[in-house]
Structure 1
Amino acid sequence: MEELDFFKSPDEFPPRRGGYGLVHVDCVGKRGYTNSALVNLYAKLGLHRYNWLEGTNFELDSIMKFNMRGAASPYYITLVACLPSSGLQQIFQVLVEEERLGILDLTCPISRPQGTESSKKESTPFLRPHSEPVSATHQDRLLGWTKSVIPWPSSEIGFSDTKRFYMLNESELQCDWISLYVELAICTSHRWFKARDLSNFELEIVQVAIESLHDKEPPSLKSKAAVIYIAYKDLAKARTGEPYHYQAVVRRVINEATGTLSIQGDCWIAAAATA
């Protein structure tokens, strides 16, 4: 049986009893469309996965189209990305799956240049082979994720244990994936945000600590299985007199056996801001 390409428009699918329940959205030339903020962030998450595995630096240029279902849904996104250093443009296909609604809980098993072949089950990476696959001693995803599952370290402990935590320096705080994780944590719990709302975000990353999920692997900026603790300010809220000190915890696992990126997390007003 021919493998279906869910990145196509549903009217290109061969008819089948029961249908697929997919909604197709063509984004070219449109200022707004369904779940525009989430789709933009999901597209960036897919490029983040590809860049991480391939050592590239593609950035999102525009969304061409996507297919989705209702409720917690897979998003099949076709996008245009570019390399800032050369201006090279490339069409990508990205699949991001929402595991739950109302909280950050996503998996990204596919992000590839259009036309790249892969196995039907995606059990064999379509990217170049990688050595040292991630250990299977931890789950890619945590069931029933809440911020209480991996809480913010107490003030008594803090991040003083340098064997347990890697503290990012000032230049490392500018990594674009850190802000991406925070924006995903915000927008997955506020699904009504529009793409234009993202441009109104004024987030200042204050502090980031990384904790490795591997007992034998010291934490680092490149930890493939880690918990990331992020302290940040929402400067837009600061101008309105609202609490603006926030914290976010994000659990990231990149499974090199399958190439799948799993990301879970949440954000909240820091306790110090409400004291």
Structure 2
Amino acid sequence: MSQSCVRMEELDFFNFPEGFPPRRGGYGLIHVECGGGRAYPNSALVKFYAKLGLHRYNWLEGTNFELDSLMTFNIRSAASPYYITLVARLPSSGLQQIFQVLVEEERLGYLDLTCPISRPQATYQDRLVDWPSSIIPWLSYEIAFSDTKRFYMLNESELQCDWISLYVELAICTSHRKIKARDLSKFDLDIVQVAIESLDDKEPPSLMSRAAVIYIAYKDVVKSLRTGEPYHYQAVVRRVINEATGTLSIQGDCWIAAAATALADRGLRSSPTS
């Protein structure tokens, strides 16, 4: 799918300096330069938002770009669009390419994002508004991990798919916004089981389902080693990719399992991942 179908009013927001364009009330964009050892706000979030943009591009274009480095980003206060300029690299050839990524935060404190733009530099809405924010459903083990007609269960090799971990990391960072980039080294997540439910009655659930709910059971290896107790977590992410526009929307949350000993226990929402 071509990446050239972009609203013209979005194009310049990647390059505006701080304070421009003007906004009602006198508030403009905050321009942030990355790299060079600089400290900057929401450093962990920006990294994962950049990866989300590359995930969207790779999905639509059949490529395998990986994040190499962040260059700049522009944001506003509170829930904000993030206009990110980054350098991506193809592992097979080492080819580097500058990308522009737009990730829009729909709400604070939840995983609720829209990514309408991810494209090589110089070369639009399906949102998920009907999901209650107070309770995100977790299906019981008997349903989610055994009903193979309704759900697609990832095999062991598929559990290593990079976007599975990305979705979990995004859920953690959007719920705990004070996490910094240096804290990411403390993440050691062991993806245990994943079930995918298709939202399209005509499309069987699969790893490539464009409209799906993804149920993820995982462990925090670092916390388990530090405390000697198992830490089992659950995450639910709902993903929609609009075929006509290429817009990617995801919503979700993660929390510690009500009982830390078994995936078979019913997933009652408890305290969030800490």
Interval of TM-score (by shorter of Structure 1 and Structure 2): 0.7 to 0.9
Q: Does 1:114 align with 2:110?
A: no
Distance 1:30 1:80, change over 3 A: same
1:252 to 226, 239, 254: 239
Distance 1:82 1:244, change over 3 A: same
Maintained 8 Å contact 1:108/1:260: yes
TM-score, normalised to structure 2's length?
Answer: 0.86
**Alignment root-mean-square deviation, CA:** 2.2
2:88 to 81, 87, 94: 81
How far apart, CA to CA, are the structure 2 residues paired with 1:29 and 1:233? 34
- Return the offset for 1:32: 2.3
Higher helix share: 2
1:232 to 218, 235, 247: 218
SS in 1 for 2:179: coil
String of CA shifts for 1:67-93, please: whole Å, max 9, x gaps.
000000000000000000000000000
How far apart, CA to CA, are the structure 1 residues paired with 2:107 and 2:179? 18
How far apart, CA to CA, are the structure 2 residues paired with 1:194 and 1:11? 22
How far apart, CA to CA, are the structure 2 residues paired with 1:51 and 1:70? 29
Q: Does 1:172 align with 2:158?
A: yes
Q: Does 1:36 align with 2:22?
A: no
| Other-structure match for 1:51 | 58
Matched AA of 2:253:
D
Matched AA of 2:260:
A
Q: Does 1:271 align with 2:258?
A: yes
Distance 1:140 1:270, change over 3 A: same
Unaligned runs of 5+ in 1: 117-121, 124-138
String of CA shifts for 1:139-168, please: whole Å, max 9, x gaps.
63134533734x111234342111100000
How far apart, CA to CA, are the structure 1 residues paired with 2:232 and 2:22? 52
Distance 1:106 1:206, change over 3 A: same
Number of aligned residue pairs = 253
How far apart, CA to CA, are the structure 1 residues paired with 2:182 and 2:66? 18
Matched AA of 1:210:
I
How far apart, CA to CA, are the structure 2 residues paired with 1:146 and 1:31? 35
- Return the offset for 1:12: 9.4
String of CA shifts for 1:27-73, please: whole Å, max 9, x gaps.
13134211000000000000000000000000000000000000000
**1:116-135 equivalences in 2 (<5 Å):** 116=123, 122=124
Maintained 8 Å contact 2:66/2:91: yes
Distance 1:157 1:5, change over 3 A: same
How far apart, CA to CA, are the structure 2 residues paired with 1:76 and 1:143? 26
2:75 to 68, 77, 95: 68
Matched AA of 1:103:
Y
Quote the sequence identity (%).
80
Task: Point out 4+ residue stretches in structure 1 off by more than 4 angstroms.
Answer: 11-20
| Other-structure match for 2:13 | 6
How far apart, CA to CA, are the structure 2 residues paired with 1:17 and 1:160? 53
